[in-house]
Amino acid sequence: MTTNDPRFLRIGPITIPDPTIMEAAARRTEGGELYRQIARSDMFRLGVVASASAAGDVSFRIELLLRIYSAEGEAKPSALVKAAILLKAIARRGYAPRHQDGGWISCEKQVARSGLVRECESLLRTIEENVEMRWSRGDSSAEGNP
């Protein structure tokens, strides 16, 4: 994927799929849902989800997965501290945390199509401001659970 690809929108160091294209793709999927990962690190994964209703309406949500335990179930104190700081900051932004298997916490927020890019930018800024970490651009491919 190149940064000049019209199917994607550039947000600073990341690229997200164009919401119009995500809408159409979600309507075509069997389950009516499409996930695209847009950023990741050892501690988190950030993705955008488009969900199509039976009537064809599409809603968007942003999903942030935070790793608090290793795959073996080992708790890392530094990861717990970073996760707690970040959870507090994103809760103020309206994200609802839920436990996931494999040492992950899922934090989701419904977002209007028109606010999708702005919310992704703001969330990445919140991550950078509250937790010192390196992260990389996602591959914008459909992926299942971590």
- pLDDT, position 15: 73
Q: Where are the domains of the chain?
A: 8-130
- pLDDT, position 59: 95
- pLDDT, position 13: 58
Which residue stretches of 4-140 are H helix? 19-28, 77-91, 116-130
Distance of CA 87 to the CA centre of its chain: 14
Whole-angstrom Cα distance, residue 67 to residue 32?
27
The pLDDT tens digits along the chain (146 residues) read 344 454 444 555 567 778 888 999 999 998 999 999 988 887 788 999 999 998 889 999 999 998 887 767 777 787 788 888 889 999 999 998 998 877 789 999 999 988 888 898 889 888 888 775 554 455 444 333 33
- pTM for the whole thing? 0.76
Whole-angstrom Cα distance, residue 37 to residue 141?
6
Q: Do 140 and 37 contact (CB within 8 A), yes or no?
A: yes
CATH topology of domain 8-130: Aspartate Aminotransferase, domain 1 (3.90.1150)
Whole-angstrom Cα distance, residue 12 to residue 103?
29
Whole-angstrom Cα distance, residue 7 to residue 20?
9
Whole-angstrom Cα distance, residue 105 to residue 112?
23
